[in-house]
Structure formats: C-alpha cells, structure tokens
Amino acid sequence: MTSSDASSASPIAPSGSSHPSVHFGFENTYARLPERFFARVDPTPVTAPGLIKVNLELARSLGLNPDELASPEGVEILAGNRVATGSEPLALAYAGHQFGHFVPQLGDGRANLLGEVRARDGSRYDIQLKGSGPTPFSRRGDGRAALGPVLREYIVSEAMAALGIPTSRALAAVTTGERVFREAILPGAVFTRVAASHLRVGTFQYFAAQGDTDAIRTLADYAIARHYPQAAQSSHPYRALLDSVISRHTRLVAQWMLIGFIHGVMNTDNTSISGETIDYGPCAFLEEYDPLKVFSSIDQMGRYAYSNQPLAARWNLTRLAEALLPILVEEAGSKEAAIASANEALAAFDPQFEAARLAGLRRKLGLFTEQAGDAALAEDFLKQMALNRADFTLTFRHLCDAATGKEGDERVRQFFTSTGSFDAWSARWRERIAAEDASPQTRAAEMRKANPTFIPRNHLVEAALNAAVTRQDFKPFEELIDVLSHPYQDQPGRERYTIPAQPDEAVTQTFCGT
Ligand code: AMP
Ligand code: MG
C-alpha cells in the first residue's frame, strides 16, 4: 500500500510451501498452560493480503527480520493465511467488567496469539494478530477489524511508546482485500500486536467466576514468572503479585494523566497484568484542558472521563484483588487475613498514584527539588488551564521556553483568556525556580523531555485514517507515524502537526474500534 511496498500490487494467494523462511523462533509458554485457558484456533485466511507497514525498528528489537516479515510469505503470516513455523495459534479465555457490568466470558473474539518471542534484551513478548477471524469467543462478532481502527491503534500505540509510556506495540498492519460490515461497509485489516503479555485482570476474573482456584493459582504463578519474578522470593508471593500490579498501574495512569491521554474503555478486560496500556479503541488525547473530558461515544455516563481514570484503575485493581482472594486466603491463613491483606495492598494505590503524578508534574514544571508548595503550584496551574481551556500539550511545551526568561511568557499567555491569572501564577513559578541553582537552559532542556511538542492530535489521526480508508492514500499515516516517533524534539517544517484542530476539524467524539 505504501510506495515501497511491492506486495500490495498483486494479491498473494496462500502457497502452502513446506519450507517457510520467515523465522520467529516462537516459544509457546501460554500453550503449555491447561487447555481451559484458551481455545486452539488458527487465523482465518483472507482473500487478498496486502502489506501496509512493518515496524522496522520494533521488528529488529525483537530479533525478527523486517525483510522477511515484508516478504510475500511474511505478509501471508501477518494476514493469517499461513501459520508460521513454531506457532501454536490460540484465542485466550477471559472475562471482564464492561462499564461496571460483569461478563463471565469474553475472550479473544477476533485475535490469535501466534506465540511468544524473545527480544534482543531477553524479555519475552506475545505476537498477536487482531482482526484475524472468528474464534470460539466471537459471540455475535465477525472476528474482523476495519482498516481505520487498525491504523488508529498503530498510530496511537507507537506514539505512546515514543512518549515513553508502557504500551503494547504495533509490529505490522495488512489489508485483507475483504470488506467488513459495521455502520458502513469498510475495508478490512489485520493488526499485528506485540505486548509483554495479554494477561488481563479479566483473565483472573474468568477463573474466579468459575470458582476454579487451581486455575487462579496456575495463572498467578505464570504471571509472577513472566512479569514479576521478584514476587516469587516474597514470603507472600500472591500478595506481592497484587502489590506489583497495583504499583505498575499507579505509574501507568499517572503517565496517562501527565500526557493528556484518555484510554476510553478502561474495562477490566482491557486492564493488563503487565501494567502496559492495551486495547486501543476510542482513545484520544486532550486538547483544550477539561478534566471531565470524554470522547468515546459508548461512554455516555463519563465513567472513563480523563479525571476519573485513577478511580477507574483502582476499581479495576479491586476486582483483581477479589479474583485473587482464594489464593490470598491460602497464603494468609484465613479469609479475614486475606481481605485485610488485599485492602492494605489497595490502600497503597492513592498515595503511589499521587506520588507518581506529583513527581511527573515537577518534571513538567522544571522543578528539580521537592518543596512543600509544589503540589499546590502545579494544581493552581492546571486549574487556570482548565478555566481557560488552554491546550494541554502546547501550554506545557511553551512553558519550557518561559523557563529561559520572562520574554518566553508571551507564548504561554496566548492560551489564557484571562492573562492576569497566568501572570500571577508565573510570578510564583519564577520565584520557585529561582530558589534552585540550575541554568535556565538546563531547566528548559529538562522540561522539554517531559513536555512533548507532538501528540497524536485527534484531527490528525482522523485525517490519516480518512486518507487511507477513502483514497487508499497511506502517506498521511506514514508521515504522522514518523512525526510522532520523536515527540519531544522540535521538528522544523512540521509545525502544523503541533497545532490544535481548527473549529471545523475538531474531533468531539470517537468510536469504538470494533
Ligand atoms: P474490545 O472492545 O475490543 O476490548 O472487545 C471486547 C470483547 O469483544 C472482546 O472479547 C473482543 O474479542 C470482542 N470483540 C470485539 N470486536 C469483535 C469482533 N468484530 N468479532 C468478534 N469479537 C469481537
Ligand atoms: Mg479488549
């Protein structure tokens, strides 16, 4: 589909050669778990696979050969038309609370875990196809994904990675040559996702709902071995597992808040055990700062509004604690002791989250030391930004320039209709930073590492998706990915990617990626 892609010119038929040359080196530890953890199911072939993109840098870091992946045979694998050597495709079983309502069986209804690979750094990653056809968990769904949502997940997950936020990654995207039927008829696509694992809070809930304590224990042991090996050394490994997951999510959600990210569907089935951002659906980034902002069309009650995200995360982790309770009881010796232990673990959420958020706010404001008034200074800035509906990203980015001298204030002031409120705050901030002996240049440079200039602005994402879906033009998609790969660097000539949407371009609502 891109200019460099020869394979999209002609559809590739399944060849069935017995000498495949695409090497993944799959390990299949999940496939060794009890059979009730998943369904063994191969991807369903598509009519005409066409390569959109292979993520070269990610492929290399995983020890994969991007040229092999982009070869006709690689594209067949990425489309689900061929099962790679060593792959044992699975659809994972899980449950989940969706907008507060428990669904005892969800599972991968349109995804196949192909297997796990070892990255160059030694860590293990899942390789999963999404949109690869129906599975026993599809319920009424068709098992497919539309091109737009696939490109959205590609763009946003890669942007998050470049911003330094734990996330699943995009290894590749292919077109299927088939149509999917949603509100409209749309081109189909398959997304290749990489994640530290696809274990979710909902995976534990699936077994908890069945009273299957053996499975909860097996899953917990697997999660510890894979993500939190230090927990195995603890006198209470399952409590340590809970503590670890909570801790990762406090930092994750703090990072979302600091960058203005709204996940949109923080259901327990979309809450990873690894502490990565997963399952990008109607996600979006704040532009005008409004703490109550909701974009998702399916979130009519604002359950997953920007400022509710820490509460939602804590709620989800409380469901994890409940699901772990049977094995926490074994470990603690009694139900009362287990509940006390789980509550103690959950009580750490708020202080850990607040500490992570405050540390991040200090970095955003260029404060190198910790002073008692810092939280109030930061909150007052955010309050003024909210009152003035200031652009979340640019206000902080321009504040970096203001760190080099008062003449920089003008660029921040433009976001405040009541400029006096900014001037008063700025005077306090200057007094605060003057108490530290860092050079203005050093401070500004450090601040630029915490305040991106490029985020996937919703209208830019929309425009890239539109060009691809309506005109088969993937250049805006390619260009946007390239811009977002260096979010903290100024990129001369690419200023238009920093600018908020014009009123007629503004995206007010996003739709679920299904
Ligand atoms: P999501 O909203 O993408 O997190 O998906 C929620 C659940 O619905 C998961 O169990 C998915 O596998 C399933 N699902 C979403 N879309 C489809 C689809 N088109 N076909 C089958 N299952 C789907
Ligand atoms: Mg999901």
Q: What is the pLDDT of residues 115-141, one digit of tens each?
A: 999 999 999 999 999 999 999 999 999
Rounded CA gap, 477 and 25, in Å? 30
> Does ligand 1 have an atom closer than 6 angstroms to the CB of 514?
yes
Cβ(192)–Cβ(179) below 8 Å: no
User: Above 60 in pLDDT, residue 1?
Assistant: no
72, with CB counted inside 10 A (0-12, 13-18, 19+), is middle
Rounded CA gap, 281 and 296, in Å? 9
Task: Kindly report, residue by residue over 456-505, the tens digit of the pLDDT.
Answer: 999 999 999 999 999 999 999 999 999 999 999 999 999 999 999 888 88
Give the environment of ion ligand 2: residues with CB less than 5 A.
270, 279
Cβ(473)–Cβ(190) below 8 Å: no
- How much is the average pLDDT of 172-197? 97
Task: Give yes or no: 269 in active site.
Answer: yes
Asked whether residue 466 is domain-assigned, the answer is: no
Same domain? For 242 and 342 the reply is: yes
Same domain? For 194 and 217 the reply is: no
DSSP codes of every residue in 234-274: SSSHHHHHHHHHHHHHHHHHHHHHHHTEE-S---GGGBBSS
Same domain? For 405 and 320 the reply is: no
- How much is the average pLDDT of 89-112? 98
Rg of the chain, C-alpha, whole Å: 23
Which atom of ligand 1 sits closest to the CA of residue 143?
20
Rounded CA gap, 433 and 143, in Å? 54
> Does ligand 1 have an atom closer than 6 angstroms to the CB of 270?
yes
Asked whether residue 501 is domain-assigned, the answer is: no
Select from 136, 165, 198 the last residue of a domain.
198
Rounded CA gap, 159 and 40, in Å? 32
CA of 110 to the centre of ligand 1 (A): 6
DSSP codes of every residue in 185-202: EEEEEEEEEEES---BHH
User: Above 50 in pLDDT, residue 6?
Assistant: no
Catalytic residue, candidates 269, 299, 391, 409: 269
User: Above 60 in pLDDT, residue 181?
Assistant: yes
Distances (CA, A) of 274 to 16, 131, 197, 228, 355: 36, 23, 7, 9, 20
Structural domain for 406, as ranges = 367-448
- How much is the average pLDDT of 330-357? 98
What pLDDT, on a 0 to 100 scale, did the predictor assign at position 2?
A: 40
Task: Kindly report, residue by residue over 434-453, the tens digit of the pLDDT.
Answer: 999 999 999 999 999 999 99
Which atom of ligand 1 sits closest to the CA of residue 267?
4
C-alpha dihedral, 381 to 383 to 385 to 389, nearest 10°:
180
What pLDDT, on a 0 to 100 scale, did the predictor assign at position 21?
A: 86
Rounded CA gap, 26 and 126, in Å? 9
Asked whether residue 168 is domain-assigned, the answer is: yes
User: Above 70 in pLDDT, residue 275?
Assistant: yes
Which atom of ligand 1 sits closest to the CA of residue 98?
6
Q: What SS3 state is found at 145?
A: strand
Task: Kindly report, residue by residue over 377-419, the tens digit of the pLDDT.
Answer: 999 999 999 999 999 999 999 999 999 999 999 999 999 998 8
Same domain? For 211 and 81 the reply is: no
- How much is the average pLDDT of 334-353? 98
Asked whether residue 485 is domain-assigned, the answer is: no
- How much is the average pLDDT of 51-63? 98
AA identity, residue 471: R
Task: Kindly report, residue by residue over 10-41, the tens digit of the pLDDT.
Answer: 444 444 444 448 999 999 999 999 999 999 99
CA of 445 to the centre of ligand 2 (A): 38
Same domain? For 158 and 105 the reply is: yes
Same domain? For 207 and 338 the reply is: yes
Task: Find, among 390, 414, 391, 410, the residue nearest to 401 by Cα.
Answer: 410
For a pLDDT cut of 70, what percent of the chain falls above it? Answer: 96
Distances (CA, A) of 423 to 379, 401, 419, 428: 16, 15, 6, 9
Residues pairing with 54 in the sheet: 172
Task: Find, among 57, 27, 54, the residue nearest to 123 by Cα.
Answer: 27
Which atom of ligand 1 sits closest to the CA of residue 108?
12
Q: What SS3 state is found at 263?
A: coil
Which residue's CA is minimally distant from atom 6 of ligand 1? 106
Q: What is the mean pLDDT of the chain?
A: 95
Select from 411, 426, 448 the last residue of a domain.
448
CA of 270 to the centre of ligand 2 (A): 5
Q: In which element (H, E) is residue 395 found? A: helix 392-402
Asked whether residue 377 is domain-assigned, the answer is: yes
Rounded CA gap, 127 and 9, in Å? 26
CA of 17 to the centre of ligand 2 (A): 34
Q: Which of 108, 110, 137, 138 to mutate to test the pocket of ligand 1 (most atoms within 8 A of CB)?
A: 110
Same domain? For 256 and 393 the reply is: no
CA of 111 to the centre of ligand 1 (A): 9
> Does ligand 1 have an atom closer than 6 angstroms to the CB of 283?
no
User: Above 80 in pLDDT, residue 512?
Assistant: no
- Phi then psi for 309, rounded to 5 degrees? -60, -40
Asked whether residue 290 is domain-assigned, the answer is: no
Select from 162, 182, 198 the last residue of a domain.
198
Asked whether residue 479 is domain-assigned, the answer is: no
Q: Which of 44, 103, 106 to mutate to test the pocket of ligand 1 (most atoms within 8 A of CB)?
A: 106
